[in-house]
Structure 1
């Protein structure tokens, strides 16, 4: 039995996070400015769906970025391109309350493990948020494992505070849930078997996705799904794999209303499934 894991957030790099609240309001999605990671030169905006969220992150001072090997862990390595960033989804984070045990578990299974590392961010209202991060994987793993986070505050306290300050609130589009993240991969079987082993979870059967034109498999984390897609025909998913490599390419959002037609929209370099 592995450590209990919950989906926490997806990291999406954008040139100007401060523009995200206005941009996403046009889709009926509530977003707030987050704050700065002062020691590493990044800042963010945040879109919450209960405690699952999307982090729209940018760089306010490239000179403060950590060394190359550290930026690679955070998924920052491919964002720098000329005077701007390569925008798009980069990594996901899974939440745990057993981060030290998880570090031992992943190391025992042959992974290179870094952390837990103490981290913090100061919110615009001045409050200092603190958490621990854990990175694990192998240099040749293809699709990188998620990184792992343990918040200093409990889920109940975080939900109450984020609701009180307006970060978690109703979306104009409806009571949206963040249901899945999909990844483009080159070898479906190899990738899924590695994630099954390291996350101590079991995938469903491989099926064909007619829309994205490729084989896919799903690993479930409770009501949340990790979807792995190996595209085998020309189309947006294959183009994404060729240009961005093995990484998240799609986030599924569900308003549960049934009134609006579902749609796939490209938001700053990656896809969002709105229904």
Structure 2
């Protein structure tokens, strides 16, 4: 049995994170300003669904971005490096309370592992947030693996703090839950089998999806799903695969309410499934 993993957050690159609260309010989604990662030149806004969240990240000073070095191969810097970056979903983070055990588990399977690395960010209210990050992968991988996070505070303490300061709050659209992220891939069978093995997750049945025009399969992370789609005909999934490669392209938000209209909305280069 490997280290226990839960979904933590999705990283979505935007030009101006400070615009996210007003933009998402039009969809009935509560979002707050985050803070700055002063040492690497990035800043964010945050949309929480209990402890799962979306990080809307942008650059405030390109000169502070870490150089594109071997030590950042499996981090986010590869996406940020250069004169610009592609807007949209980029990576997901999985949460663990056993990050050292997880590092050993991934290394034992032949993956290159970087970390755990100590990180921190000071919130606008002055509180210092601290966490550890772990990165892993292979040089020739297609879809980048999630990165892994271990927060210094417990889930209970974080939930109470984030609720008290208004970061976790009701959404005008209803009691939304972030319940899946979907990825475009070029080889469904290989990707799902590798992720299932590396992350000790159970895979569902592979099926053909007429809406996405391709094969689809899910990995189960408790009541959360990682969905992989290998499109074989031109359509939305094909478009995102051609434009952005093997990356997350879709986030599912579920109100759990009967009679709610279902829609796919494009937000800064990626799709959000509202239902």
Query: 2:97 maps to what in 1?
Result: 97
Q: How many residues align?
A: 274
For 2:203, what is the secondary structure of its paired residue? coil
For 2:78, what is the secondary structure of its paired residue? coil
> What is the 5 A alignment of 1:139-154?
139-154=139-154
Distance 1:71 1:18 in 2: 26
Q: Deviations over 1:163-182 (max 9, x none)?
A: 00000010000000000000
Distance 1:81 1:234 in 2: 30
Distance 2:263 2:77 in 1: 29
For 1:74, what is the secondary structure of its paired residue? coil
> What is the 5 A alignment of 1:19-98?
19-69=19-69, 72-79=73-80, 82=83, 84-98=84-98
Q: TM (normalized to structure 2)?
A: 0.97
Distance 2:78 2:200 in 1: 28
For the 8 Å contact 2:67–2:81, the answer to whether it is kept is: no
Distance 2:228 2:9 in 1: 17
Q: Deviations over 1:140-170 (max 9, x none)?
A: 1111110000000000000000000000010
For 1:181, what is the secondary structure of its paired residue? strand
Query: 2:123 maps to what in 1?
Result: 123
Unaligned runs of 5+ in 1: none
- How far has the Cα of 1:201 moved from its partner? 1.2
Distance 1:247 1:267 in 2: 15
Residue 200 (structure 1) aligned with residue 200 (structure 2): yes
- How far has the Cα of 1:71 moved from its partner? 5.3
Distance 1:76 1:94 in 2: 18
Distance 1:73 1:126 in 2: 30
Residue 155 (structure 1) aligned with residue 155 (structure 2): yes
Say what the alpha-carbon RMSD is for the aligned residues.
Answer: 1.2
Distance 2:134 2:62 in 1: 23
Say which is worse superposed, 66-75 or 231-240, in terms of deviation. 66-75
Unaligned runs of 5+ in 2: none
